[in-house]
Structure 1
């Protein structure tokens, strides 16, 4: 999900509908965790067709030139409860920069299908101009917050 001030009057929420990735996590060694995420930028959905068209265009995501955004962790610092930070390389709009997500484990346990699931949520904020997006929406709209929610099923072996 992404959140941005909309013309300084309120919050604009959106989401990417097409994404994938993987993570590894060992509760006995949480700092050795890793995560990789791929996001199809054309899947941006702000619940408004004309706004989506603008966000996909040259002023913002330029999805024709930059069809994917990615995140790959480089450092993880989590406590025994799965709370802490994950730093990694975030690529958006042809620019790659390090970002740090504040992370918390949402839950872990058996699921109804006989598996074991674990979920995390992390968020970070960054200036759009840091990733080459400089369309002027006013000073309150220059920073976005990205919220990443992931859930996985333990793979034995």
Structure 2
């Protein structure tokens, strides 16, 4: 893993082709459903000398949900779950970033789903910085955070014969981010 360097300071844009913003949750109490959102935009402002001055903004297009089941994806876009026509975006805007130790951060921020905003804290690991074959400087970050979907108004469910529920309220959010540094003309 790369150490935090001054190369990390600056503005970074998520590379959607190499970034996965996903989720997993229990289905029928016996297996997991996994999915991701394919249309995302994100910006990181990193300040290595003072991580408290760093920030993250993420926008996810709800209609881009992909669970490898077109029928399930259509259901997830309805009012039963995300209500994509009325709430087309999920957003996250950081409010504070704390460095726990070298390469480990807690990104605190406002997560908005279905018009409901809640403060969440996401543990994030800095994976490293490398220059790719095209000459772009890339940074990698990974993390996950469990949320309760009911707190965001995502309430649909159906009872199982066993007494359990079809869909768990607990959802694991998964972040695998490849970000490309925005280099100024003077900095090249």
Normalised to the residue count of structure 1, the TM-score between the two structures is 0.92
Contact 2:100 2:106 in 1 (8 A): no
Aligned positions of 1:5-16 closer than 5 A: 5-16=26-37
Give unpaired runs (5+ residues) of structure 1: none
SS in 2 for 1:141: strand
Corresponding residue of 1:54: 75
Quote the offset at 1:20 in angstroms.
0.4
Quote the offset at 1:77 in angstroms.
0.7
**Is 1:112 equivalent to 2:133 in the alignment?**
yes
Q: Distance in 2 between matches of 1:140 and 1:54?
A: 13
Corresponding residue of 2:52: 31
**Is 1:89 equivalent to 2:89 in the alignment?**
no
Relative distance call for 1:140 and 1:52 in structure 2 (3 A) is closer
Corresponding residue of 2:153: 132
Q: Specify which of 143, 148, 151 is matched with residue 175 of structure 2.
A: 148
Q: Output one character per residue of 1:50-71: Cα deviation in whole Å (capped at 9) or x when no partner.
A: 1111111111011011000000
Normalised to the residue count of structure 2, the TM-score between the two structures is 0.78
Q: Output one character per residue of 1:35-88: Cα deviation in whole Å (capped at 9) or x when no partner.
A: 000000011100011111111111101101100000000010124632121000
Corresponding residue of 2:120: 99
Contact 1:46 1:52 in 2 (8 A): yes
Q: What RMSD over aligned residues (CA atoms) do the two structures have, in Å?
A: 1.6
Structure 1 runs, 4 residues or longer, greater than 3 Å off? none
Q: Which has the higher contact order (CA 8 A, sep 6+)?
A: 2
Quote the offset at 1:109 in angstroms.
2.1
Q: Distance in 2 between matches of 1:125 and 1:142?
A: 10
Q: Distance in 2 between matches of 1:67 and 1:76?
A: 27
Stretch of structure 1 that moved more, 137-146 or 35-44: 137-146
Larger Rg computed on CA atoms: 2
Alignment: residue pair count: 157
